């Protein structure tokens, strides 16, 4: 509806670009649409003129009717008024169609640029911003921007009409025009005040609605508990209290919104009566014709509504600028991971060396300091340590997801910054801690690692994991729909799909951040079998959470605060009784069957 109600619940945002910069940038995006926008401008003007001339013509007709006996003139008046109405419609049609095209194109370009900018960023960017925020910048902010552009064009059209009418009225009778103009500051002032009050009440309403939603959500999620313990009455009483409070708060908001137009109509009523009275006086003085008097009365009715939009325009416009600023800030930001060469390594062996590497996610805190590690081609390495010890950072640097600050990282003796990143990553198999699946079938998800792979290849890769037995537990085998984010599959099944994806990729380097979530023991056995197959003959770096994986590693690297403090095999390290032994007692002990058996015997002994 009117602009008066728009953008009331928007949040304030910080701004760093100034208005002029932004407007220039926006105009830049509209440049390719220049021919369209020219026609839009012309059509807007013509539309306003046609609409302004209709009441003027009627007023002339009212004056002429008494003077002339010419029937043709009367017919002409009717026909021209109708024709003007039709042409106003036509110009409006042209204006709106072309605006839709132009704005549609600009927003599309803006979205594409924003998306490209997002894709160029390294993972530090994604750590910084939650995915929802990024998405809303690419889609919702561009949409908000487009809404404001459309509204602005609309408003310009309405104000043009007001301007044309007022100029005409001023030339007809300057004094009476001043009477009309008295209502302008009143209307604008009341509209501004309204927006201030409405903003306040809307915020309260939004808050109470969120509260109601939270309460309903809690009840519905916890209904089984409430029912088991028969606590319905207490819960209902809580709800009733909040629901009634919500009523009063929403009623207040509703009254403010519903009341504003009648209130404005009250102002218009006085303006109208004034025009009738003073207009009548001036007609009798002979200073005004009857037709013009009619025109003034019509004028009051025609101009007050567009005036309310002026009140809200500035804040609307600022919102649009803020939205566009967020989009531009996204487009302008620079990625930190930058390659300085394009070297391909066709026969990647998978030898990795960290030499005195320093790395931190932010400038304040270093995760790795002067870190050195040599991993031989084909070696199975398990990284263990408490949270924050630097395990994942090592894996992520190898994947070149982040830029490090000092030292050198080489792959097969070549600086990682000099590699053709796309070719290198194609030879890298990465399974993140929570395996991510795309909406689609299992087959499509496995193929994601190697888009050209044939069905037979996909199937072979899947069968290499745990003999392919895991496919039996899927309702449609490889054609099972995994659902949004793999929601139709269990955590364990998702891991199996992710392993098969990597298997198909046949990488030289395999990086696994083992899941911490527990998986049913049967699936766990399948995953372990899959890992055996994957780790054969390739460099494997595992961030380990499973006792089994640690046990089967060639070398365990024990990390603390970004430093290697111990390394060796499971038995060697356990025998040493150092930090690894402590980690074992914290994380791995309960996964040991011997430990469980021993505890069981100990428990059974006194009873026997």
Partner 1 sequence: MSNVAKSEFTVANAYRYDRRSATRWLISHVMRYRWFFFATLFLYIATYSAYTASEALIGQAIGAVVEPESLALLPTIALSVLGLKVLDAVLSLIGVLSIEFIAQRMEVDAREELYANLLSKSQTFHNQQRVGDIMARATEDVQQLNGMINPGVAITLETIIGIAVPLVFIATLCLELLLVPALFVLIYIVTVVRYVRRLNPVVRRQREQFGRMNAGLEETISGIEVVKACAQEAFERRKFRMAASLFRSFFVRQGYLEARYLPVLFFGIALGMAFLHGMHLYRQNLLSLGDVVALMGIMGVLRWPAFASIFSISLIQAGIEGGRRIVDILNMETELDQNKGGYAQPIKGEITFEDVSFGYGRLHVLRNVSFTIRQGQTVAIVGQTGSGKSTLTQLINRTYDATHGRVLIDGVDVRDWDLDALRSQIGKIEQDVFLFSRSIAENIAFGAPEATQEQIERAARMAQAHEFIMGFKDGYRTVVGERGVTLSGGQRQRIALARAFLSDPRILILDDSTSAIDSATEDEIQKAIRQVQQGRTTILITHRLSQIRWADLILVLDGGELVACGTHEELLRRSPHYRRIFARYDVALPPLEIVAAD
- The per-residue b/e assignment along 34-65, b for 16 or more CB within 10 angstroms, e otherwise, is eebbebbeebbbbbbbbbbbbbbbbbbbbbee
C-alpha span between 505 and 495 (Å, rounded): 15
Tokens of 252: 């207040």
| Binding positions for partner 1, 490-509, rule CB under 8 A | 490-493, 501, 505
Burial class (CB in 10 A: 0-12, 13-18, 19+), 178: exposed
Nearest distance from residue 19's CB to partner 1, in Å?
26
| Binding positions for partner 1, 309-328, rule CB under 8 A | none
Among residues 371, 402, 580, 587, the one that binds partner 1 under rule CB under 8 A: 587
| Binding positions for partner 1, 112-171, rule CB under 8 A | 112, 115-116, 118-119, 123, 126, 131-132, 134-135, 138-140, 143, 146
Contact 201, 246 (CB under 8 A): no
Between CA 202 and CA 209, with CA 204 as vertex, the angle to 5 degrees is 95
Cβ distance to partner 1 smaller for residue 34 or 93: 93
| Binding positions for partner 1, 322-381, rule CB under 8 A | none
Nearest distance from residue 370's CB to partner 1, in Å?
27
> Considering only CA atoms, which of 274, 264, 296, 300 is closest in space to residue 188?
264
Q: Walk across the sheet containing 352-359 and list its strands.
A: 368-375, 352-359, 406-411, 414-415
Cβ distance to partner 1 smaller for residue 374 or 577: 577
Among residues 12, 229, 605, 606, the one that binds partner 1 under rule CB under 8 A: 229
Q: Which helix (H) or strand (E) holds 387?
A: none
Burial class (CB in 10 A: 0-12, 13-18, 19+), 327: buried
Among residues 472, 602, 605, 607, the one that binds partner 1 under rule CB under 8 A: 472
Q: What is the 3-state secondary structure (H, E, C) of 164-221?
A: HHHHHHHHHCHHHHHHHHCHHHHHHHHHHHHHHHHHHHHHHHHHHHHHHHHHHHHHHH
| Binding positions for partner 1, 269-288, rule CB under 8 A | 269-270, 272-274, 276-277, 280-281, 283-284
Cβ distance to partner 1 smaller for residue 116 or 332: 116
Cβ distance to partner 1 smaller for residue 325 or 529: 529
Nearest distance from residue 255's CB to partner 1, in Å?
6
- The owner of tokens 């909040």 is 242
Query: Is residue 77 a contact residue for partner 1 (CB under 8 A)?
Result: yes
Among residues 37, 45, 80, 163, the one that binds partner 1 under rule CB under 8 A: 80
Among residues 159, 226, 345, 533, the one that binds partner 1 under rule CB under 8 A: 226
Cβ distance to partner 1 smaller for residue 17 or 595: 595
Cβ distance to partner 1 smaller for residue 366 or 396: 396
Among residues 24, 346, 518, 605, the one that binds partner 1 under rule CB under 8 A: 518
Nearest distance from residue 585's CB to partner 1, in Å?
6
Q: Which helix (H) or strand (E) holds 383?
A: strand 380-384
Query: Is residue 299 a contact residue for partner 1 (CB under 8 A)?
Result: no
Number of residues in contact with partner 1 under rule CB under 8 A: 172
Among residues 21, 213, 362, 572, the one that binds partner 1 under rule CB under 8 A: 213
Nearest distance from residue 24's CB to partner 1, in Å?
24
Q: Cα 271 to chain center, whole Å? A: 47
Nearest distance from residue 507's CB to partner 1, in Å?
9
Nearest distance from residue 14's CB to partner 1, in Å?
23
Cβ distance to partner 1 smaller for residue 244 or 374: 244
| Binding positions for partner 1, 399-458, rule CB under 8 A | 399, 401, 421-423, 425-426, 428-430, 432, 436-439, 448-449, 451
Burial class (CB in 10 A: 0-12, 13-18, 19+), 435: buried
- The region of 31-39, 195-203, 373-381, 596-604 touching partner 1 under the rule CB under 8 A is 596-604
Cβ distance to partner 1 smaller for residue 266 or 406: 266
C-alpha span between 449 and 438 (Å, rounded): 12
> Considering only CA atoms, which of 323, 314, 391, 374 is closest in space to residue 549?
391
Query: Is residue 108 a contact residue for partner 1 (CB under 8 A)?
Result: yes
Contact 304, 57 (CB under 8 A): no
Among residues 506, 563, 569, 591, the one that binds partner 1 under rule CB under 8 A: 591
Contact 534, 510 (CB under 8 A): yes
Among residues 8, 26, 61, 539, the one that binds partner 1 under rule CB under 8 A: 61
539-543/406-411 β-pairing: unpaired
Nearest distance from residue 29's CB to partner 1, in Å?
14
Q: What is the 3-state secondary structure (H, E, C) of 33-74?
A: HHHHHHHHHHHHHHHHHHHHHHHHHHHHHHHHHHHCCCHHHH
Among residues 39, 45, 49, 54, the one that binds partner 1 under rule CB under 8 A: 54
Query: Is residue 601 a contact residue for partner 1 (CB under 8 A)?
Result: no
> Considering only CA atoms, which of 271, 263, 258, 279 is closest in space to residue 303?
271
| Binding positions for partner 1, 520-559, rule CB under 8 A | 520-525, 528-529, 545, 548, 551
Backbone torsion region of residue 424, taken as left when φ is above 0, otherwise alpha when ψ lies between -120 and 50, otherwise beta = alpha
- The region of 54-62, 339-347, 355-363, 364-372 touching partner 1 under the rule CB under 8 A is 54-62
Among residues 28, 259, 483, 577, the one that binds partner 1 under rule CB under 8 A: 259
Tokens of 8: 């009331």
Nearest distance from residue 27's CB to partner 1, in Å?
20
Cβ distance to partner 1 smaller for residue 27 or 83: 83
Angle subtended by helix axes 491-505 and 521-535, to nearest 10: 10
Cβ distance to partner 1 smaller for residue 297 or 564: 297
Query: Is residue 42 a contact residue for partner 1 (CB under 8 A)?
Result: no
Sorted by sequence, the CB contacts under 8 Å of residue 410 that are 6+ apart come out as: 352, 353, 355, 416
- The region of 58-66, 166-174, 188-196, 323-331 touching partner 1 under the rule CB under 8 A is 58-66
Burial class (CB in 10 A: 0-12, 13-18, 19+), 567: middle
C-alpha span between 369 and 99 (Å, rounded): 56
C-alpha span between 284 and 363 (Å, rounded): 82
Cβ distance to partner 1 smaller for residue 440 or 578: 440
Among residues 9, 19, 232, 537, the one that binds partner 1 under rule CB under 8 A: 232
- The owner of tokens 């949409």 is 143
């Amino acid at each position: 509806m009117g602009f008066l109600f728009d953008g009331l619940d928007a949040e304030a945002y910080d701004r760093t670009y100034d208005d002029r910069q932004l407007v220039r940038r926006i105009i830049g995006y509209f440049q390719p649409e220049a021919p369209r926008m020219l026609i839009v401008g012309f059509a807007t003007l013509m539309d306003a003129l046609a609409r302004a001339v209709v009441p003027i013509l009627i007023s002339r007709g009212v004056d002429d009717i008494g003077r002339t006996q010419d029937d043709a003139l009367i017919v002409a008046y009717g026909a021209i008024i109708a024709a003007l109405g039709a042409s106003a419609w036509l110009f409006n049609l042209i204006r709106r169609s072309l605006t839709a095209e132009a704005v549609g194109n600009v927003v599309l370009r803006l979205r594409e640029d924003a998306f490209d900018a997002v894709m160029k960023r390294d993972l530090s960017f994604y750590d910084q911003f939650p995915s929802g925020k990024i998405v809303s910048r690419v889609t919702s902010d561009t949409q908000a921007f487009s809404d404001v552009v459309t509204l602005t064009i609309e408003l310009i059209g309405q104000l043009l009409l007001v301007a044309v009418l007022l100029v005409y009225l001023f030339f007809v009778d300057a004094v009476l025009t001043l009477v009309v103009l008295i209502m302008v500051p009143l209307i604008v002032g009341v509209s501004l005040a309204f927006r201030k009050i409405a903003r306040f009440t809307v915020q309260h309403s939004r808050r109470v609605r969120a509260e109601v939603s939270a309460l309903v959500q809690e009840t519905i999620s916890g209904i089984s508990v409430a029912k088991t313990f028969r606590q319905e009455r207490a819960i209902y009483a809580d709800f009733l209290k909040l629901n009634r409070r919500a009523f009063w708060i929403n009623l207040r908001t509703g009254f403010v919104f519903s009341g504003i137009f009648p209130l404005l109509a009250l102002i218009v009523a006085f303006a109208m009566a004034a025009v009738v009275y003073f207009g009548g006086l001036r007609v009798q003085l002979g200073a005004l014709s009857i037709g013009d008097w009619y025109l003034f009365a019509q004028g009051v009715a025609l101009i007050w509504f567009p005036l309310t939009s002026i009140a809200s325009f500035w804040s609307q416009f600022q919102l649009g600028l803020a939205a566009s600023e967020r989009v531009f800030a996204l487009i302008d930001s620079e990625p930190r991971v930058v390659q300085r060469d394009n070297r391909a390594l066709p026969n990647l062996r998978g030898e990795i060396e960290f030499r005195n590497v320093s790395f931190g996610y932010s400038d304040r805190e270093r995760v790795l300091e002067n870190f050195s590690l040599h991993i031989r081609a084909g070696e199975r390495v398990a990284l263990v340590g408490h949270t924050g010890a630097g395990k994942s950072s090592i894996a992520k640097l190898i994947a070149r997801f982040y830029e490090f600050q000092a030292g050198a990282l080489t792959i097969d003796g070549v600086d990682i910054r000099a590699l053709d990143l796309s070719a290198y990553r194609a030879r890298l198999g990465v399974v993140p801690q929570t395996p991510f699946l795309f909406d689609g079938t299992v087959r499509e998800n496995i193929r994601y690692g190697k888009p050209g792979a044939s069905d037979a290849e996909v199937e072979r890769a899947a069968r290499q994991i745990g003999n392919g037995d895991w496919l039996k537990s899927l309702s449609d085998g490889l054609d099972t729909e995994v659902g949004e984010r793999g929601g139709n599959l269990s955590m364990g099944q998702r891991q199996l799909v992710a392993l098969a994806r990597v298997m198909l990729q046949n990488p030289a380097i395999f990086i696994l951040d083992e899941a911490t979530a527990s998986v049913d023991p049967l699936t766990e056995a399948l995953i372990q079998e899959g890992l055996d197959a994957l780790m054969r003959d390739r460099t494997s770096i595992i961030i380990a959470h499973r006792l089994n994986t640690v046990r089967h590693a060639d070398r365990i690297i024990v990390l603390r605060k970004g430093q290697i403090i111990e390394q060796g095999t499971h038995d060697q390290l356990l025998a040493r009784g150092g930090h690894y032994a402590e980690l074992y007692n914290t994380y791995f002990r309960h996964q040991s069957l011997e430990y469980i058996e021993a505890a069981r015997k100990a428990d059974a002994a006194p009873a026997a």
